[in-house]
Amino acid sequence: MATPTGPDRKLYAAGFKKHTTWGTAVALGATDEVLLREASGIGPPEIPIIPLLESDHVFVKQSILGNVPPKDITIPAYMRYEMGALGRAIAMLFGTAGVPTDLTGAYKHTLQWADASLLFGCYAEEFPGKIYEATSAMPFKLELGFADSLFTAALTLKANTVIETSAVNTLTQMDALTLPASFRETVPTFQQAVVKMNAESGAAVTAETALVVSDLSIVYERALEGTPPHVAGSATVVQPVCGGHEGGEKITVKLGFPRMNATNAAYFATFIAGTPQKMLIQLTGALITGALYYDFKFYFPRLIMKNPSYTKDEIIKAGLELITEESAAAPTGMTYLRPYAEVVNLQTTDYLA
């Protein structure tokens, strides 16, 4: 169809595709669509205007556009077990995916937190009569949580620029955007979530009793350098690199508890003792085939409690934030030393292929 021209946001498509050459675009197409639940924040870059403040001029007579600063764009979406293009961007953030395990009727994907991830792609979004393109955009932050009981994601990209004159992503490419099969039917909900936690040195966390939580959020963030530099011959920044330590307060889990009770009251003492924990957050969806279900598992091999809170309102509630560290050895029941995730769905290929 023709690019819409009216102001109704629901008419406009968006897409993301992995690419390998920083500063150049790649054409979007089949399975590259992402569905936005809110505005992404894409728009014209905030290029500084530099006035020439020179002698013998009382009033500014000339100003020049400076270099194009990087642009942060956040893709707000409902998560799906069939993750599609959003899943590819999330895999780029983690840095390691690989060929999925064939479970005979479904496929298990494992996303591991690599030492660094410099993977990026091209993001484009329709506006009235225009197509805005973030030519090179690197995923560096993912916020997972729930809104109205539905599992949500906010994935932030650092883009080198935003243009409206792309010769690569035009009406043809935006019209070619599609979603994976069964995409719409695979939205995880809060009712499907289970949170289990015990000491890092303890038995497999799967054997624990599920925590009674009323709020849950996860943040994964890469330690990117503050502002990537500009170099001679280019108005936009070079490809960002990781510029600090990973983990710690950049990868966190927050839990809310509807009642203060004996279980979460004990977190005060655990916090003071500095006892490392491990955690599994799991969401299990609809049956795929046989005994195989759509599934998300978020593993945290080593967590440190940070400032448990107890609010003395009419109903006394509790809250807990945990920060991540790397385990010396994989805890019982877990495979890796750093946070990792497993997804079971119908995608047969590597998310980073």
Give the chain's mean pLDDT: 95
- Predicted confidence (pLDDT) per residue in 13-66, tens digit: 999 999 999 999 999 999 999 999 999 999 999 999 999 999 999 999 999 999
pTM beyond 0.85: yes
Q: Give residue 273's pLDDT.
A: 96
- Predicted confidence (pLDDT) per residue in 198-256, tens digit: 999 999 999 999 999 999 999 999 999 888 999 999 999 999 998 889 999 999 999 99
Asked if residues 342 and 109 have their Cβ atoms less than 8 Å apart, the reply is yes
Q: Give residue 48's pLDDT.
A: 96
DSSP 209: P
Q: How many angstroms separate the CA atoms of 296 and 344, rounded?
A: 7
Helix (H, G, I), strand (E, B) or coil at 285: strand
Q: Give residue 3's pLDDT.
A: 65
Residue 299: closest CA among 335, 327, 339? 339
Average pLDDT over residues 269-275: 96
Tokens (6 digits) for 230: 């500009």
Q: Are strands 292-311 and 95-96 parallel, antiparallel or unpaired?
A: unpaired
Report CA torsion sign: 133, 139, 143, 145.
positive
Tokens (6 digits) for 182: 């069964």
Q: Give residue 2's pLDDT.
A: 59
Q: Give residue 10's pLDDT.
A: 87
Q: How many angstroms separate the CA atoms of 137 and 18, rounded?
A: 9
Residue 82: φ, ψ to 5°: -85, 95
Q: How many angstroms separate the CA atoms of 6 and 164, rounded?
A: 17
Distance from CA of residue 121 to its chain's centroid?
A: 14
Report whether pLDDT(259) > 90: yes
Report CA torsion sign: 319, 296, 325, 243.
negative
Cα atoms found within 13 Å of the Cα of residue 311, Cβ hemisphere only:
11
Q: pLDDT class for 85, splitting at 50, 70, 90? A: very high
Residue 109: closest CA among 151, 81, 139? 81
- Predicted confidence (pLDDT) per residue in 66-83, tens digit: 999 999 999 999 999 999
Report whether pLDDT(275) > 90: yes
- Predicted confidence (pLDDT) per residue in 190-210, tens digit: 999 999 999 999 999 999 999
Asked if residues 22 and 237 have their Cβ atoms less than 8 Å apart, the reply is no
